[in-house]
């Protein structure tokens, strides 16, 4: 009976996923429309400030993504800022040049926005490109964001996001924020930004327990074919009824993938995943996420995360051989941690992790992970000074708060900005 039910379900999923595979095989998703707009017609104005052309490439990839969503978009250089009759949004992609200055096509932008008040209120979003190897990391983008905030006629759409060294994970995080806020499904073509596409594979569902009180499930999958991957990599899934891939951070345990998925009420992919049955097949691609792999030879590693952001750490606790390892995890209640506790206890029992600390927001004295870091400021400073690696995975809001606290600690205790630790690979991020 069980077998029959599973095979019917499998058939159902195979039909559903067959459509998905066919769509993927067609390679190019059919854009809703690709017609470019004039600056008079466009609703979305995308301006870029670039010195070497890299930021323009990124802007072009986003421009194509907006066109594929059927939006009326006009793209231009920063210094060509003008008045736009039908615009509702202003999106700025800009780099910084020299000591926190503008790139060559962004010299007059500050004067222009102060002179030309928009005809209609414009919702603005700034994406700042830079490198943490410079002390004035993304400074021009920060200034542009500040000017727009202070001039009348502009209204913030999403917070400023900084992209380090064209990092694909930073770009992905920004895009996820953009899509969530706008309700769009914009994709940035990996090919358009010079990255390789991953291969589509089949994965068998081994376990998918009921969601817990936080609507979260721990799903175990086994790749049908032998493929190489490690904890911190990402599983990309394009659910039926959508063209945008959803990413999930993975843990590798043995040859299997463990995912922590939060089911969103109206979420297409998270509902699909949380409803999977044992032995169903999931079609997905595995993407290497080099910048979020465990660093085995670090003097110590701090795993910092909230909610489903714990997923890659479940595998890293297994993988760790030598480094003193500690987990700081934020969730609502102690029972939110129950699904992860067996992994943490096992790692401690086998000497692969020293301890874990929970920051609970809805129990006892409400606490967040950054509060624990602030309480342990001396230990944090000592660890960073000795070369420890701090990994951050979970919500973007958590990432911002943690980086603020770390920056205060490093400035106060070590007379150094956190950006210098980001630059030498001691702060690794994978937030969404």
Residues that bind ligand FAD (CB under 6 A): 172-173, 176, 180, 234, 246-249, 260-262, 264, 266-270, 308, 311, 430, 432
Write down the least CB distance from residue 258 to ligand FAD, Å. 10
Nearer to ligand FAD, 44 or 248 (CB): 248
d(CA 271, CA 183) in angstroms, rounded, equals: 17
Of 122, 123, 132, 124, nearest to 170 by C-alpha is 132
Write down the least CB distance from residue 176 to ligand FAD, Å. 4
C-alpha 313 chain-centroid distance:
16
Write down the least CB distance from residue 399 to ligand FAD, Å. 12
Nearer to ligand FAD, 311 or 383 (CB): 311
Query: Which SS3 state, helix, strand or coil, does residue 92 take?
Result: strand
Nearer to ligand FAD, 129 or 432 (CB): 432
Write down the least CB distance from residue 264 to ligand FAD, Å. 4
| Cβ atoms of 340 and 310 closer than 8 Å | yes
Query: Which SS3 state, helix, strand or coil, does residue 309 take?
Result: helix
Nearest-CB residue for ligand FAD: 267
Nearer to ligand FAD, 185 or 201 (CB): 185
Nearer to ligand FAD, 105 or 306 (CB): 306
d(CA 301, CA 298) in angstroms, rounded, equals: 7
| Cβ atoms of 273 and 240 closer than 8 Å | no
Write down the least CB distance from residue 231 to ligand FAD, Å. 12
Query: Which SS3 state, helix, strand or coil, does residue 213 take?
Result: coil
Instruction: Give the 3-state secondary structure percentages of the chain, helix then strand then coil, rounded to 5.
Output: 35, 25, 40
Nearer to ligand FAD, 63 or 432 (CB): 432
Write down the least CB distance from residue 250 to ligand FAD, Å. 8
Write down the least CB distance from residue 177 to ligand FAD, Å. 9
Nearer to ligand FAD, 81 or 337 (CB): 337
Long-range contact set of residues 147-153: C-beta below 8 Å, sequence gap at least 24: 147/109, 147/110, 147/113, 147/114, 148/90, 148/92, 148/113, 148/124, 151/113, 151/114, 151/117, 152/117, 153/117, 153/118, 153/121, 153/122
Q: What letter would DSSP give residue 78?
A: G
């Amino acid at each position: 009976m069980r077998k029959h039910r599973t095979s019917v379900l499998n058939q159902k999923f195979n039909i559903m996923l067959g459509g998905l595979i066919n769509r993927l095989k067609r390679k190019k998703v059919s854009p809703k429309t690709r017609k470019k707009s004039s600056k008079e017609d466009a609703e979305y104005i995308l301006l870029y400030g670039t010195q070497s052309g890299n930021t323009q490439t990124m802007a072009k990839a986003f421009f194509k993504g907006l066109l594929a969503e059927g939006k009326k978009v006009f793209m231009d250089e920063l210094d060509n800022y003008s008045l736009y009759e039908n615009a509702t949004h202003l999106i700025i992609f800009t780099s910084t040049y020299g000591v926190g200055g503008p790139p060559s096509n962004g010299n007059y932008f500050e004067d222009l926005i102060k002179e030309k008040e928009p005809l209609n209120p414009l919702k603005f979003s700034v994406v700042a490109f830079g490198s943490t190897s410079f002390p004035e990391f993304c400074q021009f983008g920060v200034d542009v964001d500040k000017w727009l905030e202070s001039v009348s006629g502009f209204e913030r759409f999403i917070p400023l996001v900084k992209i380090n060294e064209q990092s694909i994970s930073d770009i992905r995080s920004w895009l996820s924020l953009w899509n969530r806020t706008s309700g769009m499904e914009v994709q940035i073509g990996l090919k358009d930004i010079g990255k390789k596409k991953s291969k589509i594979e089949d994965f068998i569902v081994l376990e998918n327990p009921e969601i817990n009180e936080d609507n979260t499930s721990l799903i175990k999958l086994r790749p049908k074919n032998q493929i190489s991957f490690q904890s911190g990599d990402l599983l990309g899934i394009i659910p039926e009824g959508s063209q945008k891939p959803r990413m999930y951070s993975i843990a590798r345990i043995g040859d299997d993938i463990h995912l922590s998925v939060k089911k969103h009420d109206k979420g297409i992919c998270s509902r699909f995943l949380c409803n999977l049955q044992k032995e169903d097949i999931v079609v997905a691609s595995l993407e290497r996420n080099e910048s979020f792999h465990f660093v085995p030879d670090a003097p110590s590693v701090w795993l910092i995360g909230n909610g489903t952001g714990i997923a890659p750490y479940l595998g890293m606790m297994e993988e760790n051989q030598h480094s003193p390892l500690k987990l700081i995890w934020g969730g609502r209640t102690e029972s939110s941690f129950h699904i992860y506790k067996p992994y943490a206890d096992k790692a401690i029992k086998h000497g692969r992790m020293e301890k874990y600390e929970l920051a609970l927001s809805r129990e006892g004295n409400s606490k967040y992970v950054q509060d624990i870091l602030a309480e342990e400021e001396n230990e944090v400073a000592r660890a960073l000074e000795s070369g420890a690696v701090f990994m951050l995975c979970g919500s973007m809001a958590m990432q911002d708060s943690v980086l603020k606290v770390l920056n205060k600690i490093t400035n106060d205790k070590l007379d150094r900005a956190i950006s210098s630790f980001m630059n030498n690979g001691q702060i690794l991020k994978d937030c969404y």
